[in-house]
A and B are shown apart, each in its own frame.
Chain A
Amino acid sequence: MAVPSRCAAERHRFRPSTCLQVCSILSTSGCRTAEAVRMTERFISAVGGYLPMLRLDRAAASKALRFAGLGGRGGGRRAIAGWDEDALTLAVEAARRLGGDRPIDRFAFASTSAPFYERAHAAIALEALGWPATTRSNDVAGSRRCAVSALLDALLGNGEVVVAAGERRPARAGSPQHLAFGDGGAAARVGDAGGARLIGHASLSHDLVDMYASREMPTPYAYEERFVRETAAREVIAPTIRAACAAAGIEPSAVIHAAVHEPLGGMWRDIASLTGMTATNHAGALDAQAGDLGAAHILYAMALAFAASSPGDIVLVAGFGSGCDALVFEITGEVTGAADAVAMLGSGLVTQDYVRFLSLTGEIDLDWGVRSETEQKAQGTVLERHGRDTIGFIGGRDESGNVQFPKSRIPVRPGAAGPEAMTDVRLADCPATLVSVTADRLNYTPDPPFWFGLVQFDNGARLPMELVDADAAGFTVGDALRMRLRIKSIDRRRGFRTYFWKAAPAARPLLEN
């Protein structure tokens, strides 16, 4: 592999260790002809963004923390996951929004806050998405950059690939991260056709510890901000962006829209100055409206950038965390799902309830009394027999055409006399309406009230279900519903959780800006 005669290290004052890596990148792009042919064959065809319904008004949190001088200036909002949402469910919801029915070859789940250390979330996600178990899958983690790294791998590889990221990062109450972080998911689909073509890229590994979380320190420990601001921008992000642009054969000033992770709010100004870019960074807008989504942030911001772009535009995407991956795209057409991600950002409900926020993020442990002492243990044998049907929301169609959930050997259809063969029917994407409903204020739930009711699917199936994402008006009989993957139960004693689908309003309220 040839090293370019004009090493970028001199221009960008790279440290020797990083010089080799970036030079390698440049050397790859230095094989311009061969590389350029390969790159133009790979595209992002679809993107998906998903946010939980609630948004915390940061000003309300600042007000609650005013006595302590904490909470910062308190601008904008951050997305808050429901008690029954986690990195997996958020990623799955984002992947569901990709649309399309072409089979995929590979699936990657990306997160720094995935609930399990040993139990692959990608395998659960495949079942939840109804995708074949033969799809190659893996979890990626380790830094906020992991989703962008996985995206780049997909773009440099072959076949149809989906990368889905989800985050629900814990943070200590009163810390800047508690208000800066947001919960959400994002996904991208990569293939040989689509609306965004990769035309250049660069990567840099750099163990810059601006912030870390560990088994011993599950919530982030952040280092000196001025150190991070200077080092991350100057030594990691800007040079990688420059290298990627060089690989794409463009000047940074040619970038029209950007999705670049800012380790600290307001760093885009520094990065732009160092690179000569004047583009709008959609990651900043996402920060302001939903918070920093960690591994999912840049995938989501990329969707926003695509939505704002026109054919011919250059879009820069850069993930940060233990280094940087920068990707340069040329917009060649519409990217499916981009507009939907914009709409998702503009919908939801704002809460000013700081105590509710503390409770939902696990920062206060309310005493819910005897009623919360329910046994939540799930058995591995039962999961093996029924887990795929529950996580995949697979009902059965009997020999007379009736659809039911769960499946049973003798159908529920009146007159069915004996065992019948049932064919799988996935209910997750089937519209439904509400037959009966209540807001239960007696039953234990971490975010009362406990809404549940009888749900009628348009294809004939019906079952009692938990309901989520109620607005102030709640639910009424006849409401149109859509299904969301959620946590069904958390066995706190044994550190296990199960997943099932819950019914949400078909449409969310629009946020007032």
Chain B
Amino acid sequence: MATGIKDRVAIIGMGCTAFGEHWDKGPEDLMVDAFAEAIADAGIERSRIEAAWVGNALDDINVGNSALPLAHALRLETIPVSRVENMCATGTEALRAAAYAVAAGAVDIALALGVEKLKDTGYGGLPLRTKGLANDLWMPYGSAPGTFAQLAGAYTARHGVDPADLKRAMAHVSWKSHQNGARNAKAHLQKPVEMDRILNAPMIADPLGLFDCCGVSDGAACAIVTTPEIARSLGRMNPVTIKAIQLSASNGWEMQYGEWDGASVRNTQVAARRAYAEAGIADPRAELSLTEVHDCFSITELVTMEDLGLSDGGRAIFDILDGRYDSEGALPCQIDGGLKCFGHPVGASGLRMAYEVYTQLQDRAGARQRGKVDLGLTHNLGGSPYNSVAAVSILGRLN
């Protein structure tokens, strides 16, 4: 019976570039920058890295396919390097691969790096056709805001809430993240935004206005993982460890089988349930210190708080409006500014979230430090609510 990887993998170094419009840098520059911070943080020789995984989601328009761009950029010496891609969960997928390799005992030290360079092409989060699959003959290729916006109408229908209340709660989600992002030098957007401006912004996909949507961005984030024993040997007596990493992907049930009502994301629920079990968390509301969730859109964050079991069904609106998830609230969410302020370089986002939790666990978050942090959760959601891949990871201290 598998017992999971709780405390079998330690993170000994992380790095993260500033996210934004890196007109002066290519993806190789971003990879080098993130790696340089991580290897310095780990305090090891680069030759000790035995395997690496690079995540980027949109290979045709930025980094390029295969793992060779990482091997070239970092001049990795003939170690096994693989590219992983799982839509918006790509960054977490890279971390999962590296962590599993260490937990399996296949390697002692592994590298996970996520990178995406989207601004060069003017890519705006729009769908790309697959150039020949049967799906092209029938599937609607809506934009990312369009697919997630559909949560709102279905949520309203399920819970009977006033759409105006939902809109106000969504606005609060964005307002909160902008408040937090203003304290983060690595965020793409670092300015608070007034609530009225959020509420009255141009519509992108009903009912999502401009400020309900995260943008695209350039960025990279990196983690170096090893066993707790090796971490101790390196002087990390109470290292940050991975308590859980779980992934759940649609098999077509939501969009082809008539039971789901569109007001939640099943894969988030499943991944969270598994992650809590793997981490030994009985009451996430009481045990988690903070969360970094996939706030690609404000409605996504709102629904995710229920899917993670942190708000009761139909109550996330009120928890959000009450400030429960604000930086000073009971359970901060997006204390670093989230996708809303970092933008979404798809392959990097999952590792960017882990970077924030890792930093908070070590009490190194400066102005946005959330006191004592014991357990932090990250969540990615790729695809669309009806055809998704969700990843939930939980980080903490070994002891």
- Let me know if B251 is at the binding interface, CB within 8 A: yes
A464 and B255 contact, Cβ closer than 8 Å, known pairs A442-B145, A454-B386: yes
Residues of chain B from 323 to 340 with CB closer than 8 A to chain A in the complex: none
Pair B137/A383 contact, Cβ less than 8 Å:
yes
Pair B256/A404 contact, Cβ less than 8 Å:
yes
A452 and B146 contact, Cβ closer than 8 Å, known pairs A374-B129, A435-B154, A438-B153: yes
- Residues of A contacting B128 with CB < 8 Å? 374-375
Bitwise interface map of B from 236 to 274 toward A, beta carbon under 8 Å scored 1, else 0: 000000000000000111011110111000000000000
Pair B136/A414 contact, Cβ less than 8 Å:
no
Residues of chain A from 444 to 489 with CB closer than 8 A to chain B in the complex: 444, 449-450, 452-454, 456-457, 460-466, 474, 476-478, 488-489
Pair A413/B154 contact, Cβ less than 8 Å:
no
Number of interface residues of A (CB under 8 A): 54
- Let me know if A371 is at the binding interface, CB within 8 A: yes
Say how far B164's CB is from chain A's closest CB, in angstroms.
Answer: 15
Say how far A91's CB is from chain B's closest CB, in angstroms.
Answer: 21
- Residues of A contacting B206 with CB < 8 Å? 438-439, 449, 474
Pair A406/B134 contact, Cβ less than 8 Å:
yes
- Let me know if A500 is at the binding interface, CB within 8 A: yes
Closest to B151 in A: A436
Say how far A454's CB is from chain B's closest CB, in angstroms.
Answer: 6
Closest to B148 in A: A438
Pair A489/B136 contact, Cβ less than 8 Å:
yes
Say how far A463's CB is from chain B's closest CB, in angstroms.
Answer: 6
Bitwise interface map of A from 349 to 390 toward B, beta carbon under 8 Å scored 1, else 0: 000000000000000000000110011111100110111001
Say how far A449's CB is from chain B's closest CB, in angstroms.
Answer: 8
Alpha-carbon separation in the docked complex, A463 to B384 (Å):
13
Pair A402/B257 contact, Cβ less than 8 Å:
yes
Pair B140/A452 contact, Cβ less than 8 Å:
yes
- Residues of B contacting A441 with CB < 8 Å? 203-205
- Let me know if A437 is at the binding interface, CB within 8 A: yes
- Residues of B contacting A390 with CB < 8 Å? 134, 137-138
- Residues of B contacting A463 with CB < 8 Å? 138, 255-256
Q: Which of B122, B136, B149, B157 contacts A438 (CB 8 A)?
A: B149
Bitwise interface map of A from 153 to 171 toward B, beta carbon under 8 Å scored 1, else 0: 0000000000000000000
Alpha-carbon separation in the docked complex, A446 to B7 (Å):
53
- Residues of A contacting B138 with CB < 8 Å? 390, 405-406, 463, 488, 500
Pair B126/A443 contact, Cβ less than 8 Å:
yes
- Residues of A contacting B141 with CB < 8 Å? 374, 443
Number of interface residues of B (CB under 8 A): 51
Closest to B152 in A: A438
- Let me know if B132 is at the binding interface, CB within 8 A: yes
Pair B257/A382 contact, Cβ less than 8 Å:
no
- Residues of A contacting B146 with CB < 8 Å? 438, 440, 442-443, 450, 452
- Let me know if B150 is at the binding interface, CB within 8 A: yes
Q: Which of B126, B143, B153, B204 contacts A437 (CB 8 A)?
A: B153
Pair A370/B140 contact, Cβ less than 8 Å:
no
- Let me know if A412 is at the binding interface, CB within 8 A: yes
Say how far B198's CB is from chain A's closest CB, in angstroms.
Answer: 17
Alpha-carbon separation in the docked complex, A376 to B385 (Å):
25
- Let me know if B124 is at the binding interface, CB within 8 A: yes
Say how far B102's CB is from chain A's closest CB, in angstroms.
Answer: 34
Alpha-carbon separation in the docked complex, A376 to B132 (Å):
9
Alpha-carbon separation in the docked complex, A496 to B139 (Å):
18
Pair B262/A442 contact, Cβ less than 8 Å:
no
- Let me know if B133 is at the binding interface, CB within 8 A: yes
Alpha-carbon separation in the docked complex, A461 to B203 (Å):
31
Residues on A lying within 8 angstroms of B by beta carbon are 370-371, 374-379, 382-383, 385-387, 390, 402, 404-406, 408, 412-414, 435-444, 449-450, 452-454, 456-457, 460-466, 474, 476-478, 488-489, 498, 500
Residues on B lying within 8 angstroms of A by beta carbon are 121-129, 131-134, 136-143, 145-147, 149-154, 156-157, 203-206, 208, 251-253, 255-258, 260-262, 384-387
* New contact pairs (15) apart from A378-B136, A439-B206, CB-CB < 8 Å: A377-B132, A382-B133, A382-B136, A412-B256, A414-B257, A435-B154, A437-B150, A438-B149, A439-B203, A442-B145, A443-B127, A444-B126, A454-B255, A464-B387, A488-B137
